[in-house]
Amino acid sequence: MRSWKPLKSVISPVRAVVDTSFWIDAWRGDVDEAEKHRIAELWRHGGGVLPQIVWLELLVGLRSPEERAHLMDLKAVSQWEPLSEADGMAAEKLAALLRKKGVVLAATDLLVLTVAHRLGLPLLHHDEDFTRALKLPDFAPQRD
Amino acid sequence: MKMTLDIDAKKVEEAMAEYGVETKTEVIDLALTELLRKKAVERLLGSIGKFPAMMTNAELEAPEKRHLTRARGR
């Protein structure tokens, strides 16, 4: 079984999985200068990974045609990452693991975290639930 | 779509070699994709902070959070 190693929550290599919370705050203007720079870098170099579940969440939250247009642009400049049955199963295991440690993540967050683990990439987010999960001291090496 | 183009053959060959593409169709498609991507990046760069009324992550997750809170309470 794969081990669940903690992920760095922000900034580093060229590629990163980006959560819904991060994109929403970027569009709302709730990001700092370093994050703006990171976003620009991801867009220019096409290093932002867009998991299918994040795309779906963003679609569900749309409020205007302008937002939709930017969402289409986001998809065009991102690396599309579909979900597989294996992701579903891995998310299930992750949920059980986290629950034992007292952390309950929403199903969508579990899938986003699973994709980041599978790809071995950092996760950019603005979500306290992720922060709590990723801060767990022993959030790793578990075996069946 | 089929079309006849009058373009610089040297540029086409150079681009094919540079990007490891085997056909002219592929290299033109790649060039168009990249041009469109570049425009999308420009538009996105101007979009940061332009939607203060966009639904927040908390609002988006609220229904699932309510469900989770009930589940935790069991």
Residue B69 pLDDT exceeds 80: no
- For chain B, say whether A127 makes contact (Cβ under 8 Å): yes
Q: Return the residue matching tokens 């709302």.
A: A28
Handedness of CA A98, A103, A108, A109 (dihedral sign): negative
The confidence score (pLDDT) of residue A6 equals: 44
Q: Return the residue matching tokens 């290299």.
A: B27
- For chain B, say whether A29 makes contact (Cβ under 8 Å): yes
Q: Do A24 and B37 touch (CB under 8 A)?
A: no
Each residue's pLDDT tens digit, A16-44 = 999 999 999 999 999 999 999 999 999 99
Residue B41 pLDDT exceeds 60: yes
Bigger pLDDT: B63 vs A130? A130
Minimum Cα–Cα distance from B55: chain A residue: A61
* Neighboring chain B residues of A66 at a CB cutoff of 8 Å: 51
Minimum Cα–Cα distance from B36: chain A residue: A76
Which residues have a Cβ under 8 Å from the Cβ of B51 and sit 6 or more positions away?
Answer: A27, A28, A29, A66, A67, A70
The confidence score (pLDDT) of residue B73 equals: 63
The confidence score (pLDDT) of residue B72 equals: 66
**ipTM attached to this prediction:** 0.77
* Neighboring chain A residues of B64 at a CB cutoff of 8 Å: 106-108
Could you give the 3-state DSSP secondary structure of residue A38?
helix
Residue A14 pLDDT exceeds 80: yes
Burial class (CB in 10 A: 0-12, 13-18, 19+), B20: exposed
Phi, psi (rounded to 5 degrees) for A22: -70, -45
DSSP A138: T
- State both tokens at A5: 């190693």
The confidence score (pLDDT) of residue A134 equals: 85
Phi, psi (rounded to 5 degrees) for B22: -95, -20
Other Cβ atoms less than 10 A from the Cβ of A8: the count is 13
- State both tokens at A82: 């579909």
Which residues have a Cβ under 8 Å from the Cβ of B26 and sit 6 or more positions away?
Answer: B16
* Neighboring chain A residues of B61 at a CB cutoff of 8 Å: 106, 108
Residue count (chain B): 74
Q: Do B43 and A73 touch (CB under 8 A)?
A: yes
Which residues have a Cβ under 8 Å from the Cβ of B36 and sit 6 or more positions away?
Answer: A76
Edge-first strand listing for the sheet containing A16-18: A79-81, A48-51, A16-18, A123-124
d(CA B57, CA B45): 21
